[in-house]
Amino acid sequence: MLFEPAEEGGYVVTCPALPGLVTEGDTMEEARRMAEDALRGYLESLLEDGLSIPADKSPIAEPIEIALVS
């Protein structure tokens, strides 16, 4: 899940592996709750329609700290 700050405040949540899954929240905590609800609904809908759940092939973001010598 990607949590991105929204221009108008709060956070927009998307999931690259699940096209069309988009939700938002005013705070990070609310955005997480909304994301859980959206994800649950999305996956239940896939299963009800007889579709398989796609494998997550999203890139992994990892921060790297380096020291610069001047």
Domain ranges of the chain: 1-70
Half-sphere exposure of 25 (CA within 13 A, CB side): 16
Mean pLDDT, rounded, for 13-35: 96
For the record, the structure tokens of 26 come out as: 């005013």
Q: Where are the alpha helices (DSSP H) in the chain?
A: 28-48
Q: What is the pLDDT of residue 58?
A: 75
Task: Report the percentage of the chain scoring pLDDT > 90.
Answer: 79
For domain 1-70, give its CATH number from 3.30.2320.50, 3.20.20.140, 3.30.160.250, 3.40.1110.10: 3.30.160.250
Its pTM stands at 0.77
Give tens-digit pLDDT for 30-61.
999 999 999 999 999 999 999 999 888 877 88
Amino acid letter, residue 26: D
pLDDT at 66 over 90: yes
Query: pLDDT tier at 12 (50, 70, 90 boundaries)?
Result: very high
